[in-house]
Structure 1
Amino acid sequence: MTLPRTSRKAARPPYRGRAVPRPRATTATLLAGSGEGAGTVRKTVLPGGLRVLTETLPAVRSATFGIWAHVGSRDETPALGGATHYLEHLLFKGTRTRSALDISAPVEAVGGEMNAFTAKEYTCYYARVLDTDLPLAIDIVSDMLTGSVIRAEDVEAERGVVLEEIAMTEDDPGDCVHDLFARTMLGDTPLGRPVLGTVETVTGLTRDRVARFYQRHYTPTRLVVAAAGNVDHDDVVRRVTAAFDRAGALDGPDAAPHAPRGGSRTLRTTGRFDLLERRTEQTHLVLGTPGVGRHDERRWALSVLSAALGGGMSSRLFQEVREKRGLAYAVYSYTSGFADCGLFGVYAGCRPAQAADVLKLCREELAHVARHGLPDEEVARAVGQLCGSLVLGLEDTSALMHRLGKSELCWGEQMSVDDMLTRIRAVTPDDVREVAATVLGRRPSLSVIGPVTDRQATALQEAVA
């Protein structure tokens, strides 16, 4: 795309010039396919630190291509709140050679789909197409990541779209309450702030700030390319190399890939209470405690514990709150693991008059399991549920691509499905009892959204006091 001379200066992509000759790429086979449906995972590190991973499944007719960026909302300063998500939108608006329509129309014309998402610690852009259309997906997604111009007029136009997305989220209290819980547990910190930012921070973002954020974080050392399906690794590497080379993105021959986030911190958040009063039909609440980080080996046992407590229709919370008493339609538990900490939460949505009863039941179940653990049969059922959902969740190429990219970015390694199943099946009732005593034995905090009266608010606050 050629900008008029009177236009503001386009964002300079984070790639300049070209350096030749350069070292050869290094390639390794990480996982060799074995058994029905198992794919072969290979990894190549290109000069400049760009990593390319593929999982080849010759029996399928689709392919998913994605690029993961090692940047999320936790990398933002308070003044840049929402910049990562804002940038996600802007990379679809046009490059030096493509308009926004030139990005979306070719993929949709072959029946493919494109999308992206921003999380607290990473961002992903991807396209799912027929295997024969993979070259198109590689070309377009790579161009988006390396050639965005971030025009001033697009920044202004997309600002309204992002503000509408924030408003849409705030109109869904069942979603918004999880942001409130993050703030309750993590406070006014990068992890505690919403991924979308706020109306104030998004309104204050300028084109220059967003462009500098792009230049700083979208460098090859911070990117991971992942492709899964009926793909040929060497062909993907050649096409990715050509696409990034055109943008001058493979210049730093000595650059090393960015290491996964690490560290460890202890959250001491207990007994906090946050209430956001809204005129809604239901009261939405999240009751929770600090959990474990994604590098903590106890994460396997905590996943089993969460599945047993609130992971399905046979779980304790579902049976006690919904099946036996009919107090809520939705009730479940979940874990969130970050690089250096984690959260465990129980969500329920119910009529305002029943919120105190629902909270009391949830607290009683958590306290009982913290003291006594779970019976062997419940642990076995939760293990089976996790194993089955893991395998079924990897039945399409999009899920495989997500596993490839996230594993490389977050852990710096690939674990086979069989290895993950082995780790889950190795969880014992004693392991669950130990992690339950640690995680559920703390005094929980509570986040609530709904039409809560002063009397109800006092009762809820006393329940976690």
Structure 2
Amino acid sequence: MGQHLPLVAAGSTGAELTAGQEGATIRRSVLPGGVRVLTEQMPGLRSATVGAWVGVGSRDETDGHHGSTHFLEHLLFKGTPRRSALDIAEAFDAVGGEANAATGKEHTCYYARVLDDDLAMAVDVIGDMVTSARLDPDELETERGVILEEIAMTEDDPGEVVHERFAAAVLGSHPLGRPIGGTPESIRAVPRDAVVEHYRWHYRPETLVVAAAGGVDHDVLVKQVGEVLAEGGWDLDPDAVPRERRSDAAESDGVRTEPTELTVRRQVEQANVIVGTTGLSATDDRRFAMTVLNAVLGGGMSSRLFQEIRERRGLAYATYSFAQGHGGLGLFGLYAGCTPARVDDVTELMVAELERLADGGITDAELERSVGQLSGGLVLGLEDSGSRMSRLGKAELVLGELTTVDESLARIRAVTADDVRELAADLASRPRSIVRVGPFGE
């Protein structure tokens, strides 16, 4: 069994042999410039996934820069002095690989999955993109139109709309309440100079984490990363250290302290509704109790929401609970999609189930079943190199620690019924917001 890894404490250069599990070996190095490289070598795997994680998300945008983070996700694929956009696409297509990117509220990741023999190419291309994006003015204007179309597509999906409006309803003017992709107004307004400034300020060695899993050699990858970053012209100061991880302290500026109700009118057949409140931060000690609570309340077909609202009453096809943790803040919500005339009834039932959990707790059978569900999901979710790569990146940037599968399972199994009831009571006592999306009248 592997060991617990306090990643935030490691600040020296050079590779450090850390934990291993199921025959895999995890290593971490801090390179000159403060760049961090983490690998999980998985014996027998002929593929590898590599990701360049930049510690910047939509919450980090300042006035005049809103939408820049998502803009950069698009623009980095549009070419560098060494490669055109077509060159980047052909490099991965030629080897049967996959390349993509994702923008979050707190980080951005550019990643590729390739055969192990092609990993050096993937590192070179992604490193070139991250360090040397041209941010061509014509390409920027083209992507402005593409992003506006992407936002319009999201606005046509009531399920996406209800989640975005729920975050805004609960978090108010807090940066975490903003949509990741920006708004049509912010995308139209942001000038190229602001996007370039955002790129130069945040895409730096001390913010970069390179994570790879699968058929990967740590020492070889460290050498490749150092070479591609140097070729990209980054200042790799040997005395530099990684940027400090985001503070765990609760941030409440802008977060709503009163119950909120919002109705968004859309001409659709089914209404979408979320009722919820603030949740736990990503590093809250109660996050494992939250996973159990979520499993019991709305995490599967045996959950209370599913059984009560769908199976017993037939009021909805989809219903579930969810929890999102960020630095210092989180969200917790109950969702259902149902006939518009039934929205109020379904909302009352969801609230009643949360309050019943807060008052009466969970049974021993529910606790045992949820622990089994979460344990199986955790192990099955780490069966591929992509999920293992993501685990490394998030551990470094968000959690500040990397736990082995065995330790994570132990923390889940340590949750008690009292832990769940106390957390449910806390959540049920918080200001509650309700957001509905559907064909409602004035």
Question: Which of the five TM-score ranges fits, normalised by the shorter chain?
Answer: over 0.9
Structure 1's consecutive aligned runs of 4 or more residues displaced over 3 angstroms after TM superposition are 265-270
Counterpart residue number, 1:265: 251
In the aligned structure 1, how far is the partner of 2:172 from the partner of 2:430? 18
Aligned mate of 1:42, from 18, 27, 33:
27
- The residue correspondences of 1:243-254 to structure 2 (distance < 5 A) are 243-254=228-239
- Contact 1:96/1:147, CA 8 A, preserved across alignment: yes
- 1:182-224 deviation line (CA, Å, top 9, x unaligned): 0000112211110111111000111111011000000010010
Report the CA distance between 1:268 and its aligned residue. Answer: 5.8
In the aligned structure 2, how far is the partner of 1:90 from the partner of 1:168? 19
Counterpart residue number, 1:159: 144
1:312 pairs with 2:297: no
Aligned mate of 1:342, from 315, 318, 330:
330
Give the secondary structure class of the aligned counterpart of 2:139.
Answer: helix
In the aligned structure 2, how far is the partner of 1:392 from the partner of 1:197? 34
In the aligned structure 2, how far is the partner of 1:378 from the partner of 1:452? 37
Report the CA distance between 1:30 and its aligned residue. Answer: 2.0
Counterpart residue number, 1:142: 127
Counterpart residue number, 2:65: 80
**Match of 1:39, as an amino acid?**
A
Q: Which runs of 5+ in 2 are unaligned?
A: 1-11
Give the secondary structure class of the aligned counterpart of 1:227.
Answer: strand
- Contact 1:45/1:51, CA 8 A, preserved across alignment: yes
Q: Which runs of 5+ in 1 are unaligned?
A: 1-23, 455-465
Aligned mate of 1:217, from 187, 190, 202:
202
Report the CA distance between 1:250 and its aligned residue. Answer: 4.2
- Contact 1:268/1:290, CA 8 A, preserved across alignment: no
Report the CA distance between 1:440 and its aligned residue. Answer: 2.1
Percent same amino acid at aligned positions? 53
Report the CA distance between 1:443 and its aligned residue. Answer: 4.4
- 1:97-120 deviation line (CA, Å, top 9, x unaligned): 000011111111111100100010
Which deviates more, 442-451 or 238-247? Answer: 442-451
Aligned mate of 1:377, from 349, 365, 379:
365
1:192 pairs with 2:177: yes
- The residue correspondences of 1:358-437 to structure 2 (distance < 5 A) are 358-437=346-425
Aligned mate of 1:201, from 186, 201, 205:
186
Counterpart residue number, 1:300: 288
Give the aligned CA root-mean-square deviation in angstroms.
1.4
Counterpart residue number, 2:316: 328
When the two structures are aligned, how many residues end up with a matched partner? 429
In the aligned structure 1, how far is the partner of 2:89 from the partner of 2:133? 14
- Contact 1:185/1:445, CA 8 A, preserved across alignment: yes
Report the CA distance between 1:428 and its aligned residue. Answer: 0.7
Counterpart residue number, 1:444: 432
Which deviates more, 175-184 or 266-275? Answer: 266-275
Report the CA distance between 1:55 and its aligned residue. Answer: 0.2
Report the CA distance between 1:88 and its aligned residue. Answer: 0.5
Give the secondary structure class of the aligned counterpart of 1:32.
Answer: strand
Report the CA distance between 1:339 and its aligned residue. Answer: 0.7
**Match of 2:73, as an amino acid?**
E
- 1:134-193 deviation line (CA, Å, top 9, x unaligned): 111111111110111101011101101000000000000101111100000011221111
Give the secondary structure class of the aligned counterpart of 1:43.
Answer: strand
Counterpart residue number, 1:232: 217
Report the CA distance between 1:418 and its aligned residue. Answer: 1.0
- Contact 2:169/2:256, CA 8 A, preserved across alignment: no
